[in-house]
Amino acid sequence: MRVLILCTGNSCRSQMAHGFLQSFSRDFEVHSAGTKPAERVNPKAIEVMKEVGIDLSSHRPKNVEIYLNDEWDYVITVCGGANESCPIFIGKVGKRLHIGFDDPSDAMGTDELSFKYKLSRAKLKKKVCQSEAYLHKKLKIFYLKIYFSMIFATRLALSLQLPLLLIP
């Protein structure tokens, strides 16, 4: 299942969500991007994710334009407040989800900064966990549909006395 997580700068929220979702399941191919990507991933985002065992140090902000021609099962936007516009993805998308989060990078002072990033991390983890469960449910339904389609096709072929195509 292919998932793209979008935000404006691709330096904080989308990177944190990317890290969480990728850590939950190898069944997902996760990417993140922004409409106006920053030069680097926010160091505080890297720090607070490292505290929970997720390494974002090799992540780099990317422009959404590199993904416009790709097909996605899900595109998830994570932009928050009214003073920020979430990107509208125009590529081939199965389902769009919006999970808005306020940007913690506007915090002032060491204590407030740490608190806001850790709060954002906790909120992102909760929402991404809910999204991951939702995506897994959809993936299971997809596989069940394939399984029952194969059973139906096999029974139909047998009833019509057609040769079965066996795939090794």
* Residues identified as active-site: 7, 79, 86
Give the separation between CA 138 and CA 18, rounded to whole angstroms.
19
- The conformation of residue 63, written as its DSSP 8-state character, comes to B
Q: 100, 106, 105: which is closest to 123 by C-alpha?
A: 100
Query: Element (H or E) spanning 6, and its range?
Result: strand 2-7
DSSP per-residue string spanning 66-102: GGTTSEEEEEEE---STTSPPP---SEEEEEEE----
